[in-house]
């Protein structure tokens, strides 16, 4: 296999190629394992960015996709519909928060956020009100497209483009200490009647090294936003589908979002797909005898039938007793590991939400500093794939991981204390 052709032809994401020109070639994957060209195996401790939650190449999913590909591979979703999309909508709405009524398809998490922002802005426009400002949380990350970058707060991604963004006001991730101040900010901003939406990651900010915040405080913010006619947008691209201990992190709050963005593990890692769901109030604002008040957004591969089939199979797995028991076992295993290492002098703090576990080392380093790469290489040498961020290492492994495989991850993390 020719890695020189990789260097010659390919431009990898989130990579400074002058500093890091080499990439490991993965030739196959199965269950929780990745295999390189030399047949070395690596436990996928982050489910390939939280997508392959039912394991790589899960036959329950791949068989349904193969079957669908021989029946209907693709058809444009404007002017046509198809049964896989209808079936997926019906089954997904059964487990989404109860106020969600309509699904809009696209093909990635960033775009699902852009769609949500456009829905919110046009919702007010269609009602004859110009609202162009958006509230978002400090340290949030919502994607790489322009709307998603506008509401994100990671400067390493946004720096060259920040002068061209939508107007966004940031407030801290909510906790009991700051929630009253944030409520006051929202109420003051709302007096000008120009706040269109509040975009947030419920409970866990993934790209911010799994920062976690409190459901009670977030619920208070949502109630205030709803009272001020601000559209609430939950970014569940990372948190959705069982990772936080419920099907969706939004279920931890009684005040439910108007719009929810979904992707990543939606298809179990097989095929790109995203969904932006909304309540009936949002949808009805686009119903009009005026054509221009419709929602003019669409993608070539929207509601691709094979991706819909993968998503349907993934939902069946999520609802199964086997996966639900696995989730409980992983949560309990993380709690035991936390008790073992939380007081170690190299550990600054730990946190857990559902099967998401994060550990901060007791050092101060840059997000992409030297320690991050030393830790990455150390874990890979032990057959464990993790992606440290700054001084944080986190685990978000597939639901099908065994206790033996989890222990290998824990051992690798504990062994890495020696290089901190």
Taking 90 as the threshold, does the pLDDT of residue 368 lie above it? Answer: no
What's the pLDDT at 79?
95
Write the CB contacts of 345 (distance below 8 Å, at least 6 apart in sequence).
Answer: 362
Taking 70 as the threshold, does the pLDDT of residue 149 lie above it? Answer: yes
Q: What is the DSSP-derived secondary structure letter of residue 103? A: E
Tokens, residue 199: 């975009």
Write the CB contacts of 166 (distance below 8 Å, at least 6 apart in sequence).
Answer: 117, 132, 134, 146, 147, 150, 151
Which of these, 138, 146, 142, lies nearest to 163 by C-alpha position?
A: 146
Taking 70 as the threshold, does the pLDDT of residue 155 lie above it? Answer: no
Tokens, residue 402: 């065994």
Q: What is the CA radius of gyration of the chain?
A: 22
Q: For residues 329 and 337, what is the distance between their CA atoms, to the nearest angstrom?
A: 12
- Stated as kind and residue range, the H or E segment containing 219 is helix 215-227
pLDDT confidence bin for 1, thresholds 50/70/90:
low
Tokens, residue 143: 């994607």
Strands (E), 55-161: 102-106, 133-137
- CB distance 37 to 27 below 8 Å: yes
More confident residue, 377 or 154: 377
- Which range is least confidently modeled, 165-179, 356-370, 373-387? 356-370
What are the C-alpha distances in Å from 151 to residues 12, 134, 154, 213?
Answer: 24, 8, 10, 18
DSSP string covering 338-359, please?
HHHHTT-TTEEEEEEETTEEEE
What's the pLDDT at 370?
86
Taking 90 as the threshold, does the pLDDT of residue 129 lie above it? Answer: yes
- CB distance 85 to 105 below 8 Å: yes
What are the C-alpha distances in Å from 80 to residues 86, 293, 399?
Answer: 12, 21, 35
Share of the chain above pLDDT 90, in %: 94
More confident residue, 379 or 365: 379
Taking 80 as the threshold, does the pLDDT of residue 154 lie above it? Answer: no
Q: What is the pLDDT of residues 242-301, one digit of tens each?
A: 999 999 999 999 999 999 999 999 999 998 999 999 999 999 999 999 999 999 999 999
Taking 80 as the threshold, does the pLDDT of residue 235 lie above it? Answer: yes
Which of these, 248, 247, 168, 183, lies nearest to 217 by C-alpha position?
A: 183
Q: How far apart are the first and last CA of the chain?
A: 35
Domains of the chain in start order, with CATH, are 3-58+322-419 (3.90.1150.10), 62-318 (3.40.640.10)
What's the pLDDT at 227?
97
Find residue 33's DSSP bridge partners.
30, 43
* Count of Cβ atoms closer than 10 Å to residue 88 Cβ: 26
Q: What is the pLDDT of residues 156-213, one digit of tens each?
A: 778 889 889 999 999 999 999 999 999 999 999 999 999 999 999 999 999 999 999 9
**Strand 195-200 and strand 347-353: pairing?**
unpaired
- Which range is least confidently modeled, 18-27, 98-107, 368-377? 368-377
**Strand 41-44 and strand 33-36: pairing?**
antiparallel
Taking 70 as the threshold, does the pLDDT of residue 409 lie above it? Answer: yes
Taking 80 as the threshold, does the pLDDT of residue 306 lie above it? Answer: yes
Helix, coil or strand: residue 29: strand
Which of these, 305, 316, 317, lies nearest to 67 by C-alpha position?
A: 305
Taking 90 as the threshold, does the pLDDT of residue 394 lie above it? Answer: yes
Average pLDDT over all residues of the chain = 96
CA 147, 151, 156, 159 dihedral sign is positive
What's the pLDDT at 156?
76
Write the CB contacts of 47 (distance below 8 Å, at least 6 apart in sequence).
Answer: 53, 265, 269, 396, 397, 398
- Find the mean pLDDT for residues 320-346: 98
Q: What is the pLDDT of residues 337-347, one digit of tens each?
A: 999 999 999 99
What's the pLDDT at 115?
98
C-alpha torsion angle, residues 350, 353, 358, 364 (rounded to 10):
-60
- Find the mean pLDDT for residues 379-407: 97
Taking 90 as the threshold, does the pLDDT of residue 365 lie above it? Answer: no
- Find the mean pLDDT for residues 38-53: 98
Q: What is the DSSP-derived secondary structure letter of residue 167? A: P
Q: For residues 140 and 391, what is the distance between their CA atoms, to the nearest angstrom?
A: 18
Taking 80 as the threshold, does the pLDDT of residue 41 lie above it? Answer: yes
Share of the chain above pLDDT 70, in %: 100
């Amino acid at each position: 296999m020719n890695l020189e052709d990789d260097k010659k032809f390919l431009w990898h994401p989130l990579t400074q190629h002058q500093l890091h020109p080499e990439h490991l070639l993965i030739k196959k994957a199965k269950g929780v394992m990745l295999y390189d060209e030399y047949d070395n195996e690596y436990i996928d401790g982050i489910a390939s960015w939280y997508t392959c939650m039912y394991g790589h190449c899960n036959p329950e999913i791949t068989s349904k996709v193969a079957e669908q590909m021989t029946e209907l591979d693709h058809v444009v979703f404007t002017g046509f519909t198809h049964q896989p999309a209808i079936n997926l909508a019906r089954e997904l709405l059964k487990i989404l928060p109860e106020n969600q009524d309509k699904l809009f398809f696209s093909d990635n998490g960033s775009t699902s956020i852009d769609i949500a922002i456009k829905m919110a802005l046009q919702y007010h426009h269609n009602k004859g009100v110009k609202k162009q400002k958006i509230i978002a949380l400090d340290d949030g990350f919502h994607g790489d497209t322009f709307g998603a970058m506008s509401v994100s707060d990671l400067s390493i991604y946004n720096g060259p483009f920040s002068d061209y963004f939508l107007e966004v006001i940031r407030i801290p991730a909510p906790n009991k200490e700051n929630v009253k101040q944030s409520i006051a900010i929202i109420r003051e901003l709302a007096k000008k009647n120009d706040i269109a939406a509040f975009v947030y990651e419920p409970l866990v900010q993934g790209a911010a090294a799994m920062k976690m915040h409190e459901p009670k405080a977030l619920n208070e913010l949502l109630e205030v936003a709803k009272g001020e006619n601000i559209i609430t947008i939950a970014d569940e691209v990372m948190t959705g589908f069982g990772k936080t201990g419920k099907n969706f992190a939004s279920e931890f709050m009684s005040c439910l979002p108007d719009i929810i963005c979904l992707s990543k593990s939606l298809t179990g890692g097989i095929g790109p797909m995203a969904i932006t769901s909304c309540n009936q109030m949002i949808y009805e604002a686009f119903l009009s005898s005026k054509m221009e008040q419709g929602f003019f957004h669409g993608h070539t591969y929207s509601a691709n039938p094979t991706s819909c089939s993968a998503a349907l199979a993934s939902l069946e797995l999520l609802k199964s007793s086997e996966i639900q028991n696995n989730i409980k076992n992983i949560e309990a295993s993380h709690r035991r590991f936390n008790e073992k290492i939380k007081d170690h002098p190299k550990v600054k703090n730990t946190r857990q939400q559902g099967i998401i576990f994060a550990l901060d080392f007791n050092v101060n380093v840059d997000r992409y500093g030297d320690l991050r790469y030393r830790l990455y290489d150390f874990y890979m040498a032990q057959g464990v794939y993790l992606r440290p961020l700054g001084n944080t290492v986190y685990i978000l492994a597939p639901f099908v991981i065994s206790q033996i495989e989890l222990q290998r991850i824990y051992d690798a993390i504990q062994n890495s204390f020696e290089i901190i």
